[in-house]
Amino acid sequence: MLITDLTMPDFTRGLAQTRTVLIPFGSTEEHGPHLPLDTDTLHALEVGRRIASRRPLFVAPPIHYGVCRSTANHPGTISISTSTLHALTLDIVSSLYRQGLRNFILLTGHAGGTHYATLVDAGEVLLERFADLRIAVLTEFMLASAAAKGLIETEGDAHAGEIETSRILHSHPHLVQGRAEREFPEFPKGILVRDKVRYWPGGVWGDPGKASAEKGRRLEEAVVTALEALITRLEAGDY
């Protein structure tokens, strides 16, 4: 059930079926010269749609903005602060809780370390705030990388490379504009740099040339299956 498509009576009827909601977090961030800026959001939202077609599940409107530090100066990236993301997460979950939801899956297609840590911290605050709330916080990349073993050829593939290009080739092929060059940036170890584009000009971390729609289909199916199992466990309190 996509919350954006529901009426008030639809939402009320939905609560009789489930108290679980998936909140897709993404970003508006460069993904090389070949993938859309909305790539991370598309990943999380598509998985939510797929799972909602299999079982009763609310899917909240996606969050199109994230904390993007390494790509902040690349063309098209729109980043928000950790304090904004933290506050936004608390507000959204708290509002959904007041509406009757109790099980929350914060699924982020954007896997930046600071972004993810902020979501985890917000989740811990929410656990303290609501005694009967259950919450999971995970990245799309956690699930996709596990499924990629034996399928993805590029070691260390992480951003706009083989994995993400395959996923978009499968789910939104009309948004893929050719292929980008293989790239593995090297930032100075331990040194924070202002001009990150200098060290990462192409905005790719991996090899898009090895991507295929079939790989994307298999990755997405594995992600959906793994996430559905996690939801079942979360709802049962078996952890």
pLDDT in tens, 196-230: 999 999 999 999 999 999 999 999 999 999 999 99
DSSP 180: -
- Is residue 188 packed enough to be buried (19+ CB in 10 Å), middle (13-18) or exposed (0-12)? exposed
* Residue 85: per-residue pLDDT: 98
What would the pLDDT profile of 169-189 be if each residue is shown by its tens digit?
999 999 999 999 999 999 999
pLDDT tens, position by position, 61-90 = 999 999 999 999 999 999 999 999 999 999
pTM (two decimals) = 0.95
Q: How many CB atoms lie within 10 A of CB 13?
A: 12
Q: Please give the Cα distance from 185 to 201 (Å, whole number).
A: 8
Domain ranges of the chain: 3-236
Can you name the residues that pair with 78 across neighbouring β-strands?
28
Q: Are 68 and 115 in contact (CB under 8 A)?
A: yes
Pairwise pLDDT comparison (11 vs 140), residue with the higher score: 11
Confidence check: pLDDT of 118 > 80: yes
CB 98 within 8 A of CB 129: no
| Integer CA distances (angstroms), 144 to 108, 176, 201, 225, 226, in order | 12, 19, 25, 11, 9
Q: How does pLDDT run across 1-57, given as a tens digit for each residue?
A: 999 999 999 999 999 999 999 999 999 999 999 999 999 999 999 999 999 999 999
**Which architecture characterizes domain 3-236 according to CATH?**
3-Layer(aba) Sandwich (3.40)
How confident is residue 130, by pLDDT bands cut at 50, 70 and 90?
very high
pLDDT at 148 over 90: no
